Each structure stands twice: as structure tokens, then as C-alpha cells.
Homo-oligomer: A and B are copies of this chain.
Amino acid sequence: MTQVFTSNDIDALDQRYRTNLINTLSGAKSANLVGTTGEHGDNLAIVNSVVHIGAHPPLMGMIMRPHSVRRDTLENIYATESYTLNQVALGWIDKAHQTSARYEQGVSEFDAVGLTAEYLAGHSSPFVAQSEVKIGLKLEDSVSIKANDTILIIGKVVLLQVSDNAVLADGSLDYTRLNTAAITGLDTYHALVQRDKLSYAKPDQTVESITV
């Protein structure tokens, strides 16, 4: 048996219920902390809308809501053209989630939640010391999404620091070693348990498991 929602059904849902339903539709999302700095000090905010844009040049995107009340992170990115993304690990999902609280301007979420700001040579924005995958980005473009007045922030990867032994021979990060959290919706955190790595698909072959 199945449950069906038409467009009218979705429109008629309670707002909070609809927010949860639509937010969970896409499935697994990454959990990353955005680190920035600006005239009011350091800021740290969790984002679950990071998307791969391309590898040549190395570009990552994230969806931001400019009309939300607190927008220090977005203002810092525009002012400095620099930010960091730091993968959230399962051991500190509570601290990462706590960064979504609306702290007063001037409060560093690093201090408020108990994570450590770390500066790496050549990059002006703070990284999260606890993260095993630290990505330094330079603002590349900011694209307006007219459908709901959100913004796609696109950054170029200019610095990367990962734990030793976390990179496989083919260049992939090894998620059997990293304790990276996945998120569904706005509040539910999951472990990633690897099931299979599959060969490049060709029309006349069946894909098979590979190891590197």
C-alpha cells in the first residue's frame, strides 16, 4: 500500500509537517559546517545543501536563504570571498546541530558549541579543528534562484586537508574510515555503512563490485 499526495494535498498540509516532508524527500544529504570570519568575528553554521558542481575546475555549491533573520555567514562570504566547509563526524553531531541556534551577533558559534577554530596557512577563514575533512573555498559565483529568492553560492576548492589514509588509491575519500555523518531532513543524523563500490557502467556489460 502507498500514500499519495497531490499538489493540492501538499498545499493544504500544516506548514511544519510540509517542511519536514519536503525536506526529507531528497534522501541523504551531507552535513557540513561553514566557517567564516568578518567584522563581528568568526561564524560557524551547519548546512545540508552542499552539492557537487564540477571537478575541473573543482567547484562546490550550497543553497543559502538570504531572507532569514541571521545572515552573518552570507555577509562574511561576500565580504571576504572566503569560507570553509568542514565535514561533520558522528562523534559531535550534537555540537554541529547546536550551531543552528540563533545566537546574538558577535557570539562565535565555535565558542558557544565547543568546537575549535583552526587557521591553516594561506586561507583567511576558520576551519573546524575536529573535522577530518577540511575544505577551503574561494567565492566563485553567487546565483539568484528566483523561484523562492534563495541563492546558490559556488566556491572553488583552494585548500584541502584530510586525515592520513583517508584517500584511496583512485583519489576517492574512504568513507569506511571516515566517521562522516549524513543528514535527512533538518534534524536526523545517520552513519554511512558502505555496501558496494561499482564499476564504470557500459551498455554491453553488467556492473560489478570493485575494490581499489
**Interface residues of A, Cβ cutoff 8 Å to B:** 1-7, 10, 13-32, 48-61, 63, 85, 87, 90, 93-94, 97-104, 107, 112, 120, 122, 133, 135, 140-141, 143, 145-148, 150, 152, 154, 156-164, 166-168, 170-173, 175, 180-185, 187-203, 205-207, 210
Contact = CB atoms under 8 A, between A and B. Distances in A.
Given A27-B180, A93-B196, A159-B7, A202 B63 contact: no
B28 A164 contact: no
Contact of A3 (B90, B158, B164, B187): B164
B203 A195 contact: no
B6 A23 contact: no
10 contacts: A2-B164, A14-B171, A16-B171, A19-B171, A27-B133, A28-B29, A53-B63, A61-B145, A175-B184, A182-B190
Contact of A52 (B23, B192, B203): B23
A78 B193 CA distance: 37
A139 to B, nearest CB: 11
Given A1-B164, A55-B19, A193-B191, A103 B203 contact: yes
Contacts of A164: 1-3
Contacts of A160: 4-5, 10, 21, 25
A27 B29 CA distance: 8
Contacts of A31: 27-28
Contact of A147 (B53, B93, B99, B171): B53
Given A3-B162, A97-B201, A51 B49 contact: yes
B61 A7 contact: no
B18 A171 contact: yes
A60 B2 CA distance: 22
Contacts of A194: 188-190
A104 B203 CA distance: 9
